[in-house]
Amino acid sequence: MDKYKILFQILLAAAIRVGLIYSQYRQTIADRVEVSTLLNSWKRMTEGVALYRHGISPYDGDIFHETPIALYLCDFMINNIPDFIGLVYVLVDILSGVTLYFTAKAYMVELEETQNRDSKTYAKGVENLLMHQRDYKMCPKYVLAAYLFNPYTILSCVGFTTTTFGNLCYSLLFFSMVKGNRLLCCASLALAVVQSFYPVILLVPICIYNCRNSSRRILSIAVTITCFITMLSLAAYACYTIMGDWQFVQAVYAVSLSVTDLRPNIGLFWYFFTEMFEHFRLLFIYSFQLNATLLYLAPLALRFHNDPMLLATSLTALIAIFKSYPCLGDVGFYMALLPMWKHLFNSKAVVPDMQQSFVILCALVITSVLGPTVWHLWIYSRSANANFYFGVTLAFATAQIFLITDVLFAYIKREFTLKHGIIKEEQKAKLRLSLD
């Protein structure tokens, strides 16, 4: 029965995507700044393919910022299957969701083994905080539904953004990481890094996963890093072979690092670099890029090294929030992973683990609706300005930050409570003022 329910979900999600792709709204969705950026736009991809066909390097101008691998694949689709490109996007997106489903199943096995192993060290009276068989069974289904029916991932797929293919790389990365397949994991990470350099920090949770069950941890880490560098070199060489030069490096990576294009998006870079004085630009470039990559890596890795899946999800979420050109497809991917920690929403606990869920949900819904509204008022009605739109994107990013911090604090709170027990009301310390 469960297999039929999952199959029904997949068919329904595919039908929704196909219906929108072949509707009159597809182009409107593809043109939205929340969905398409200069790094993943299908319109820019088709222009790059047209230049490539005529023997002109698409990297000569400031139009094309995709990798040569993506250029080659899209050129193949446009030349050979132009009428079925939408179906390819749907299949890739569905495959990403199914891969996350099996990732969640493997991770639930890991959580069950961890809980059974550590149950003897738990304090008394914490039975309500423990996971049960129903949790292990339902979480993968929630992950699948959260990806297939997430409006953010649907819009990204319908808009023909290359983020859809990037999400597939991420899905394979997470699946191979939890399954312990070093080769596939490093290959997936290499493809993700070729598309955008930000995911390179995910090498840390991958190394933690690979060395957990190894007696020679340093050797395991060295092998993982070597494997990743080899795969990345092969991907870079494939790009060089396609184009015949290294010109793509400047067009693909320098634009993300230096933030030369200041078109509005759901990120935080564009407004700051539009308003600031030019002589402060380099300082803020370093500050913003460090914030998106290395700033949170060490503290999170030290605190959550016992759960590298949560560490990888947290880093993926921070990349989606703080990268230079984010889109809704990036946000939808990491949100689909959060149901794996559904037990943190435990309402039976004396003190609920996650206490800001309703506020965060309302903020995400409101900002998602206000974004296109304020954009229309700014660009078309001219009754608003850039401050209004940036205010919405700032609130959207703030809601995501609260979401991630709420999950992490709930995880720490639950971990502490399992070991030390539930602190009852009469046990709490009280501060009293005395006139003596």
- pLDDT beyond 50 at 167: yes
In a domain, residue 429? The reply is no
* Residue 72 to residue 274: CA distance in whole angstroms: 34
189-211 tens-digit pLDDT = 999 999 999 999 999 999 999 88
Mean pLDDT of the 269-276 span: 89
pLDDT at 353 over 80: no
Residue 279 in any domain: the answer is yes
Angle, alpha carbons 27-28-32 (nearest 5°): 115
pLDDT at 212: 81
**Structure tokens, 352:** 């609920």
pLDDT for the residue numbered 123 = 86
Q: What is the pTM of this model?
A: 0.93
Q: Is residue 427 part of a domain?
A: no
Average pLDDT, the chain: 90
Residue 436 lies inside a defined structural domain of this protein:
no
Whether 428 maps to a domain, the answer reads no
Which domain range does residue 266 map to? 2-422
Do the domain assignments include residue 55? yes
Query: Token pair of 355, please?
Result: 């206490």
**What's the whole-number mean pLDDT along residues 39-54?**
93
Condensed to tens digits (0 to 9), the pLDDT of residues 257-271 reads 999 889 999 999 999
Picking from 399, 282, 330, the residue whose alpha carbon sits closest to that of residue 40 is: 330
The full length of the chain comes to 436
Q: In the chain, how many domains are there?
A: 1
The answer to whether position 297 is within a domain reads yes
**pLDDT, tens digit, 9 for 90 and up, residues 366-421:** 999 999 999 999 999 988 889 999 999 999 999 999 999 999 998 998 898 888 88
Instruction: Give the per-residue pLDDT at 350.
Output: 44
More confident residue, 135 or 107: 107
pLDDT per residue as tens digits for the range 72-126: 999 999 999 999 999 999 999 999 999 999 999 999 999 999 999 988 888 888 8
- Residue the block writes with tokens 């460090």: 290
In a domain, 264, yes or no: yes
